[in-house]
Amino acid sequence: MGPDEDLPTLLSRNDHLSILRYIRAHKLREPNLVITHGTALLGYNATEPQKSRPTFTLDPANRLAATEQLCMAAIDLGNSPLAQVTLEAILLDVPPESARYRKLQGMHLESIGNYEEATKIYDELLADNPSNGYAAKRKYCVLASQNKQKEAMQALNEYLEMHPGDIAAWNEMAEACLAVSDFKGASYCYEEVVLGCPLDSNVHMKLGEVYSTAGDFKLARKHLSQAVLLDGDNLRAWFGLIDAAEGYLEDVERRSAKSKKEVDEESVDVAKELILFGGEKLMGHYRGTKMGKLIASLLKESSQTL
Amino acid sequence: MSKITLSPLSQVKMALHSARHGFSPTHGILIGHRSANSIHVTDALPVCHEVPTRPLVNTSLRMADIYLSDKKEEILGWYTANATGGDEPNVPALRVVGSMADQSGDEMIVVLVAVEGDRPLCTVFERGSGKTFTQKVDSSRMECKDAPVRDVVNRGIRGMSNFSSEYGEKGLAIYDYADHVSSYEKREDLDLRNWIENKAVADFVARAAAR
């Protein structure tokens, strides 16, 4: 596989080994391709795995890597017999107490719904090495797939205490918090994600939306403004910014009706300007489109409330 | 409230939206009209394939309102599909429909969509005595046939996953509001991803009905 070769080129040549390598190197999730080319390369039968006649023409390192990859693909597609056969083949080269092998075993047990045995394996892996991030994450996945939200969040929390730098895990926790309407928790998690990806417009947008939903319109404005500064084509952030500004004005009106506390006039002016400015920017994107008329009506409604 | 009807178009749209985003929750708006003792859902407008936030819900509902302003139809409720199964609508969907009902003062429904498994494609819930939308509407009050719609849904799912010449190069696609406002390459994409009309799906259902 040369440095300039892409997947379509390798597929056209039917270069099984290079295709598998490419998929591994680029961390692609293409289980169908892996099964097609992995079974052809290694001599397995995907539809009748028990009739497989594995070949041993490859060197041990390449054969083991390809077999592991084929096993993961079989698990991904729920082909339990093929997963079982490839697990047995891996055992020919690695001892059964290998952490990597046990991880695959755990994933296979998960895929057939045997969560109890899978969790046992992950607990053993964590007992051997408490910083085994993979086992901790799989424990969370087992609980999440059983809809045990509370226990899943607890497991993910334990993982994050050991691995606070895992941005993807913070993102997952944020979504778990949102699913149970814990907006305060979700905003805390998205703040961690923003620390890790400060120049990602979509992350600021998500945080802004969560603050808006939680009723903190000032912080919502801050992050949605940052989102559009980073990416002027982020329409969702523009709409969100207008909504947050409107929310802030409604909030101010509600509070001033209840108490005689002084209104922050500057902030109110900023909110009004944001609505008009956001509207202009959005119409710039929608000009000449069929949806433009509907968007114009929406933005006219927003500006008329000012 | 007595009878509830879900049109084939609304059911297919809800199902295809859920099928397209199999591992995520999906949410959307139900539109149609009310008569003396019944609710007729004529269409579904897909909103998002994630937990809905205030800006997503507010903006999509306002756009739906403007779209319906010159039609004799109105917003009737919300639909959702759970990410990991379950027999009741998820908490965010209950929160949204509760808020819609409180603000409008109208009776609302929430539909739970389940594309896989043996459960009905669409299960309708209404507000119970506990004020949450967890009271299942009895099938005797429902006027929609599951089996023919399932066939259309299955064909639609195949159309989404195959690059079939019947649907053009991109296959049969259904877009929600979140897709519409995601990054786009050219201005024409904004009309292509028209989440309110989803013309390709509407045409597909019309062709299926004509067969």
Tens of pLDDT, residue by residue over B35-70, are 888 999 999 999 999 999 999 999 999 999 999 998
CB-count burial class (<10 Å; 0-12, 13-18, 19+) for B99: middle
pLDDT at A252 over 60: yes
Domains of chain B: 1-211 (3.40.140.10)
C-alpha A13: how far from its chain's center?
33
Q: Which residues of A touch B193 (CB under 8 A)?
A: none
pLDDT at B165 over 80: no
Specify the pTM: 0.86
pLDDT at A111 over 80: yes
**How much is the pLDDT for B163?**
57
Show which of residues 146-175 on chain A sit within 8 Å of chain B, judged by CB atoms. Answer: 147, 175
Mean pLDDT of A140-144: 92
Amino acid identity of residue A42, one-letter, is L
**Nearest CA to CA, how far is A51 from chain B (Å)?**
31
**Nearest CA to CA, how far is A33 from chain B (Å)?**
16
pLDDT at A301 over 70: yes
**How much is the pLDDT for A113?**
92
Residue located via tokens 């994600």: A193
Angle (deg, nearest 10), helices A115-128 and A133-145? 160
CB-count burial class (<10 Å; 0-12, 13-18, 19+) for A124: middle
pLDDT at A8 over 60: yes
- For the ranges A114-123, A258-267, A284-293, B109-118, the lowest mean pLDDT is seen at A258-267
Whether residue B137 contacts residue B109, with contact meaning beta carbons closer than 8 Å, is answered with yes
* Mean per-residue pLDDT over chain A, rounded: 92
Q: Does A71 touch chain B (CB under 8 A)?
A: no
Whether residue B79 contacts residue B49, with contact meaning beta carbons closer than 8 Å, is answered with no
Q: Which residues of A touch B86 (CB under 8 A)?
A: 147
**Nearest CA to CA, how far is B36 from chain A (Å)?**
31
pLDDT at B167 over 70: no
- For the ranges A31-35, A131-135, B130-134, the lowest mean pLDDT is seen at B130-134
Q: Does B53 touch chain A (CB under 8 A)?
A: yes
A83-95: burial string, b at 16+ Cβ within 10 Å, e else: bbbbbebbeeeee
Mean pLDDT of B73-85: 93
Mean pLDDT of B177-200: 90
Q: In 10 A of CB A112, how many CB atoms? A: 14
**How much is the pLDDT for A261?**
73
pLDDT at B145 over 60: no
Identify the H or E element spanning A136.
Answer: helix A133-145
Which of B24, B27, B47, B54 best tests the A interface by mutation, with the highest count of A CBs <10 A?
B54
B170 pLDDT tier (thresholds 50, 70, 90): low
Mean pLDDT of A214-241: 96
pLDDT at A3 over 70: no
ipTM tops 0.85: yes
B152 pLDDT tier (thresholds 50, 70, 90): confident
**How much is the pLDDT for A46?**
85
**In chain B, at which residue ranges do the beta strands (DSSP E only) sit?**
3-6, 26-35, 38-48, 74-81, 109-113, 122-126, 135-136
**Nearest CA to CA, how far is B172 from chain A (Å)?**
21
Q: Does B187 touch chain A (CB under 8 A)?
A: yes
Q: Does B65 touch chain A (CB under 8 A)?
A: no
Of B127, B62, A295, B53, the closest CA to residue B45 belongs to: B62
